[in-house]
Copies of this chain bind each other. A is one copy, B any other.
């Protein structure tokens, strides 16, 4: 398999975190940034990315600005105010998720366990 099934359900979180970090980004830029950050280990497919961006926009979490650069279209996305709030929640969920998965991975390091 290319990407492990573990990445299922994480795309929205990834998009919002990148936009929080970088202010505004366009779709293709997001795919390249993820490749770079993960040293090529995670590839965001366009068939997943674009529908996800459109959904976030329709939910009012992202705003779009279309620009023409080098005679090619770019759709820049940025977080709305509501999107920024939701990003905070997403980050808390991600941290909790990682903690819980690490607890399963390392059964002797349970949260709150006295050693």
Chain A interface residues (CB < 8 Å from chain B): 4-10, 12-14, 17-18, 21, 34, 37-39, 41-42, 91, 93-98, 100-105, 107, 110-112
Contacts and interface: CB of A to CB of B under 8 A. Distances in A.
Q: Is the interface of A mostly helix, strand, loop or mixed?
A: helix
A43 to B, nearest CB: 11
Contact of A105 (B42, B95, B111): B95
How many copies, total?
2
Contacts of A18: 104
Nearest to A20: B107
A93 B39 contact: no
Given A17-B105, A98-B102, A104-B17, A110 B6 contact: no
